[in-house]
Amino acid sequence: MKVAIGSDHAGFLLKERLKTYLQDKGFKIIDFGAYSEERADYPDFAHPVAKSVETKEVDFGLIMCGTGNGINMAANKHKGIRAALCWNPEIASLARQHNDANVLTLPARCITEEEAIKIVDAFFSADFEGGRHTERVNKISNFS
């Protein structure tokens, strides 16, 4: 499994922790920054991660900022990106099963590292269920 990751300064420490966690599990990681806790703008990291998922360079994206909202909004500007802001494992599983989310977004300042790991595990072990959810997911990007 190949995953692009990114965060602003508020998500930096959690990103580093999750990068190591996923690499230890055998995931291939492309890290688009931030590379320190120096103040940075979340769209600068959302866009390269989203692009990497859009172009199928990676299978999924994993992004985080303080609340998760800003970086999630930026990622969802990309066609074909379904970024889901998840703060517990159940929401993360359902984001894959029902919404076919291809980017997992975390609120780094609002969850613990242990919670983040459980959310990441739930997201990457769930599959899209298809069926009745397919038409709904298709309607997301048909809106204009």
Q: What amino acid positions are annotated as catalytic residues?
A: 65, 98
Q: Which of residues 24-63 bind ligand RB5 (CB under 6 A)?
A: 42
* Stretch of 52-60, 66-74, 79-87, 114-122 contacting ligand RB5, by CB under 6 A: 66-74
The residue (of 58 and 75) whose beta carbon lies closer to ligand RB5 is: 75
Within 25-57, where are the H helices? 43-54
Residue 65 lies near ligand RB5 (rule: CB under 6 A)? yes
Omega before residue 75 within 30° of 0, cis = no
Q: Please, are residues 74 and 42 in contact by the beta-carbon 8 Å criterion?
A: yes
Q: Please, are residues 119 and 111 in contact by the beta-carbon 8 Å criterion?
A: yes
Q: Which of residues 68-127 bind ligand RB5 (CB under 6 A)?
A: 69-70
The residue (of 69 and 134) whose beta carbon lies closer to ligand RB5 is: 69
* Stretch of 54-62, 64-72, 80-88, 124-132 contacting ligand RB5, by CB under 6 A: 64-72
- The CB-of-74 to ligand RB5 minimum distance in angstroms stands at 9
Distance (Å, whole) CA 15 – CA 114: 13
Residue 103 forms beta bridges with which residues? 61, 83
Residue 10 lies near ligand RB5 (rule: CB under 6 A)? yes
Cα 56 from chain centroid (whole Å):
15
Nearest to 15 by CA among 33, 39, 41, 42: 33
The residue (of 41 and 121) whose beta carbon lies closer to ligand RB5 is: 41
Return residues touching ligand RB5 (CB under 6 A): 8, 10, 42, 65-67, 69-70
